[in-house]
Structure 1
Amino acid sequence: MREIPVELTERYAAEGWWTEETVGDLLTRGLAAAPDTEFRVHSAVRPWEGTFRDVEAVARRLAGGLRQRGVGPGDAVAFQLPNWMEAAAVFWASALLGAAVVPIVHFYGRKEVGYILDAVRPRVFVTAERFGRLEFRPELCADVPVVGVVGRDFDALLGDEPLTEPLPADPAAPALIAFTSGTTRDPKGVVHSHRTLGHETRQLAASYPPDRGRQLTAAPVGHFIGMVNAFLIPVLDGTPVHLTDVWDPAGALRLMRDHQLHIGGGAPYYVTSLLDHPDFTEEHLRYLRYAGLGGSSVPAAVTTRLAGLGIRVFRAYGSTEHPSITSSRHDAPEPKRLFTDGATLPGVEIRLAEDGEILSRGPDLCLSYTDPALTARAFDEDGWYRTGDLGELDEDGYLTITGRKADLIIRGGENISALEVEEILLAMPGVAEAAVVAAPDARLGEHAAGFLRMLPGHPLPGLAEMRAHFERAGLARQKWPEELHQVAEFPRTASGKVQKFRLRQDIAVGT
């Protein structure tokens, strides 16, 4: 773990941003305050309906069973599950045990899952036998001591005696290891403590509009913000949990109408896909009061469109490493909400480097990466995090993101490493060189576009051939290129590097 400057530690504690409460303590307090709050999973394959008390009972029995198997503070508990009740039970049980939970996005393929399990060496792995493209592969977790498969033997993990109290744990110790795809070949493991995760939960809960309504969570709970919004903030607030395990705009519109559920935002695609669906009516606008947008580029055309429909839009900026750097309040002046990414949140500091890169630090900033080399590159000795993003500050201190230093594609809120996709393209027969860049996408913000230099005598592969190749490679489908272009030669710098900005310009002008 990186060394956090003493003055920051003392300041965060003095301001009450860091407390001695663990995530297990937070959950215990919140669940006791509102045990009869509704918890419901809207699913075609695994629907579930009950209360916080019901889910807590499963979580405490799971914690008891895992404790009997020797799991406790300092261990890692991984799960790869859709937005199901069992995902909440695993997360809550891990927190009660003082273990570090490792959520894995349910659509990650065997390549990503194998890397994550090898990187963290969890004591426990819980997954589903099959869901969409998720398929249980015993060979990936052969070295994991305790494995449970929902729908097959998950119940065998439950102990007869529930864990009645959270186990004592160091609030500065890891509570969460969240993996996010980035500019490296493999997902980056981001380590958060009980303190950083607790502050983020309290901060987000305080920033949400009080009349936001009963929220539908469709963001994967294997992703940081989906997990916090589904399993922590509702417990802190005593508000109902409604999950859906697939994003289907038609289905979401039905749930909004039939169950009076609200969509509160997320990546712009979650909102625009509803507005663009033929089933959308003016009646649905009552369940779209607010749109807190982030996790992807937020075009001004989207924010002005939503505002024109009477939806109160506000934008936020952060990452898995530093979840909430800036945000506009829902009651901020409209130009700030529509056209900037907000002002710094309590305790957060930002400054711009000479090249415009955003540096940040604050009480919700992660401890480190699981890879020490990444940690050394991303953090300096004064606690500043190099975000890799470029921005500008206005006279009121509001930040606007202007670009990214990192070679990263953000598709519908999910990060895609260009390098990882390039390596798989290079394994195709006849490909001499490959470059992958972000292409504009009207629905998802961005998608991957591949540029290939082919060997003489080899034609550019078709999309069907390319997709079959990526399927065999086992890479998650959202990372696959959605368009291919052929080049005779790549534009390069004097040192031989491919000038990707010129490839992006070629896409923009349609060449």
Structure 2
Amino acid sequence: MVTPAHLPPAQGESVICSRPIPAALRARYEAEGWWTPDTLGDLLSTALQARRDLGFEVHSQVRPYSGTFGDVEDVARRLAAGLRARGVGPGDVVAFQLPNWMEAAATFWASALLGAVVVPIVHFYGRKELRHILTTARPRVFITATEFGRLTYQPDVCADVPIVALVDRDFDELLAAEPMAGVAATEASAPALIAFTSGTTRDPKGVVHSHQTLGCEIRQLAANHVHNPAGSVMALPVGHFIGMLGGLLCPVLDGVPVHLSDAWDPAMVLALMKRDGIGFGGGPTYFITSLLDHPDFTDEHLRYMRYVGLGGSAVPVSVTRRLTDLGLVVTRSYGSTEHPSITGSRPNAPQDKRLLTDGNARPGVEIKIADDGEILSRGPDLCLGYLDATLTRRAFDADGWYRTGDIGVLDGDGYLTITDRKADVIIRGGENISALEVEEALLGMPAVAEAVVVAAPDERFGERVVAVLRIRPGAAMPSREQVRAHFDAAGLARQKWPEELHQVDDFPRTPSGKVQKYLVRQQVRQQHR
């Protein structure tokens, strides 16, 4: 039920965004047009007014929707008016935990029009994660659903939130009779969004972005992405940073129809491609390979995925080669919730750069390699910091450089290749072994669909190489002898050969499809206790 409790003081003041941003960088970003005076509300309002007739579709077995940008904007403006009447305004925090439904877009757009700080929460998160996020972000509004998959409304978890509404029960009670006109005034440099990282660490981290950093990111993506005029299916959760950008912001500003799906269903996506000409533009490799491996896939589908951008997790060379052999133009990119567009390749870049590297620095972005191999980055789309000031101090230096936690190398042309995560290096007998290199070799085996390599304790060498494999349908798990023969033929040193093999039906994943490697590592180490 909608619960309009007494509202506490403005929560926007609690947002910590203490990353050092040198004055010279601020001036440069403004002079070069990366940072503008426009807020998210300004950008959305202008774009929506110009494209009210474009289609907005939700492909769902539970809550389908078919309408236009104008229809959804009307709901968003009525919601904005209803929230404003309840005292919600610029700087206040509005959180939502919803699948890819129309109401998620309406809530996000309404928050932007109000100048509120929006907190999208992936619907996969359970009690522990949700409690952590609500306690950390302290929203004044929380909009969710009664039930969807693993999502179940739990009133005790959000009991301290002043306004709570369920889209399938009382959401309409928040909608005013008359829509809010215009856009609430707020500073473009102010916080606009708190995006909680998707769980590669134990507790999600609240990453704070401003209107300026998000506006820059949207322009970065528009300049480096080839759009399908009919739109592309977005099944990544809009509660996740990539899904939010690709489902709720970029299509509106690029003038492309929205097609949301509240579940990843390769058969449905393939059917939509044939029926409506909808495209698939890319994302983590897991999604594109699940389409190619599906029994419904035919060569006809290739026309709807001519340009595929891969990122969000490590991109195996075997996948880029496979897609290229099918005639697709593949590009790779590298970024994170903190710094969304660090590097990437344009479709017209040389093939070896597109396939074998993660691209060069995006316009306005700087990268450098630290003495220990860690990648440092800074740019106009880099976040303001974390809600936790301690995390901010650890991740950013005094000159505004972000410590990515990734290891990489730059070639002579300035193209970056990610070689590992700092946390994923295996130290066997005093020698560093790249888990990514071992994973790449395993993916060269025909039976292997996915490979995750982690360290396990070893009494003699300190750590040993353990491979956890997901096998292609109908294929047999390779034996240790077959793996050894494969690595021998590939020319990898013996210390890099997996000493243990485990098979799984699937891996624990983040909402974006990225394998939660720390959980795999925990499971392996528990077996050695």
TM bin (shorter chain): 0.7 to 0.9
Deviation at 1:109, TM superposition (A): 1.2
Give RMSD over aligned pairs: 2.9
Residue 396 of structure 1 is matched in structure 2 by 413
Identity among equivalent pairs (%): 63
In structure 2, relative to structure 1, the CA distance for the partners of 1:57 and 1:132 (3 Å cut) is same
The 1-side partners of 2:465 and 2:133 are apart by 24
Residue 493 of structure 1 is matched in structure 2 by none
| Contact in 1 for aligned 2:195/2:206 (Cα 8 Å) | yes
Amino acid at match of 1:153: D
Q: 1:76-105: per-residue Cα shift (whole Å, max 9, x none)?
A: 100111111000000000000001110001
Residue 262 of structure 2 is matched in structure 1 by 245
| Contact in 2 for aligned 1:183/1:407 (Cα 8 Å) | no
In structure 2, relative to structure 1, the CA distance for the partners of 1:439 and 1:177 (3 Å cut) is farther
Amino acid at match of 1:401: I
- TM-score of the pair, normalised by structure 1: 0.82
Deviation at 1:160, TM superposition (A): 1.6
Residue 76 of structure 1 is matched in structure 2 by 93
Amino acid at match of 2:399: D
Within the candidate set 265, 273, 277, 1:256 is matched to: 273
In structure 2, relative to structure 1, the CA distance for the partners of 1:294 and 1:334 (3 Å cut) is same
Secondary structure, aligned partner of 1:112: helix
| Contact in 2 for aligned 1:212/1:290 (Cα 8 Å) | no
Q: How does 1:251-330 map to 2 (within 5 A)?
A: 251-330=268-347
Residue 138 of structure 1 is matched in structure 2 by 155
Q: 1:141-192: per-residue Cα shift (whole Å, max 9, x none)?
A: 0000111101101111111221101100111110000000456431000000
Secondary structure, aligned partner of 1:406: helix
In structure 2, relative to structure 1, the CA distance for the partners of 1:238 and 1:478 (3 Å cut) is same
Secondary structure, aligned partner of 2:144: strand
Residue 200 of structure 1 is matched in structure 2 by 217
Return 272-281 or 228-237, whichever deviates more: 228-237
Within the candidate set 157, 165, 171, 1:154 is matched to: 171
The 2-side partners of 1:169 and 1:436 are apart by 53
Residue 49 of structure 1 is matched in structure 2 by 66
Within the candidate set 366, 373, 389, 1:356 is matched to: 373
Amino acid at match of 2:315: V
Q: How does 1:350-429 map to 2 (within 5 A)?
A: 350-406=367-423
The 2-side partners of 1:373 and 1:132 are apart by 35
The 2-side partners of 1:279 and 1:387 are apart by 39
The 2-side partners of 1:406 and 1:124 are apart by 37
Residue 503 of structure 1 is matched in structure 2 by none
Within the candidate set 33, 44, 48, 1:16 is matched to: 33
Q: 1:208-255: per-residue Cα shift (whole Å, max 9, x none)?
A: 125565211111101111111111111111110011110011111111
1:191 paired to 2:208? yes
| Contact in 2 for aligned 1:212/1:289 (Cα 8 Å) | no
Q: Is there any run of 5+ residues in structure 2 with no aligned partner, and where?
A: 1-16, 426-434, 437-451, 457-463, 473-502
The 2-side partners of 1:47 and 1:205 are apart by 28
Deviation at 1:258, TM superposition (A): 1.4
- TM-score of the pair, normalised by structure 2: 0.79
| Contact in 1 for aligned 2:122/2:238 (Cα 8 Å) | yes
The 2-side partners of 1:380 and 1:440 are apart by 38
Amino acid at match of 1:297: A
Q: 1:302-330: per-residue Cα shift (whole Å, max 9, x none)?
A: 00000000111000000000000000001
The 2-side partners of 1:298 and 1:441 are apart by 16
Residue 117 of structure 1 is matched in structure 2 by 134
Residue 166 of structure 1 is matched in structure 2 by 183
The 2-side partners of 1:14 and 1:311 are apart by 38
Within the candidate set 23, 26, 31, 2:48 is matched to: 31
Residue 221 of structure 1 is matched in structure 2 by 238
The 2-side partners of 1:129 and 1:305 are apart by 42
Secondary structure, aligned partner of 1:17: coil
The 2-side partners of 1:297 and 1:393 are apart by 16
The 2-side partners of 1:385 and 1:325 are apart by 11
Amino acid at match of 2:363: P
Deviation at 1:396, TM superposition (A): 0.6
Residue 108 of structure 1 is matched in structure 2 by 125
In structure 2, relative to structure 1, the CA distance for the partners of 1:370 and 1:57 (3 Å cut) is same
Within the candidate set 153, 177, 201, 2:194 is matched to: 177
Secondary structure, aligned partner of 1:291: strand
The 2-side partners of 1:99 and 1:437 are apart by 47
| Contact in 2 for aligned 1:84/1:245 (Cα 8 Å) | yes
The 1-side partners of 2:221 and 2:152 are apart by 33
Amino acid at match of 1:379: F
Secondary structure, aligned partner of 2:423: coil
In structure 2, relative to structure 1, the CA distance for the partners of 1:351 and 1:166 (3 Å cut) is same
Amino acid at match of 2:141: V
Residue 80 of structure 2 is matched in structure 1 by 63
Amino acid at match of 1:277: H
In structure 2, relative to structure 1, the CA distance for the partners of 1:478 and 1:204 (3 Å cut) is closer
Secondary structure, aligned partner of 2:376: strand
The 1-side partners of 2:302 and 2:527 are apart by 50
| Contact in 1 for aligned 2:44/2:109 (Cα 8 Å) | yes
Secondary structure, aligned partner of 1:232: helix
Secondary structure, aligned partner of 2:62: coil
Deviation at 1:441, TM superposition (A): 4.7
Give the number of aligned pairs.
443
Q: Is there any run of 5+ residues in structure 1 with no aligned partner, and where?
A: 411-415, 423-434, 444-462, 471-475, 491-511
The 1-side partners of 2:379 and 2:525 are apart by 45
Q: How does 1:89-104 map to 2 (within 5 A)?
A: 89-104=106-121
Residue 445 of structure 2 is matched in structure 1 by none
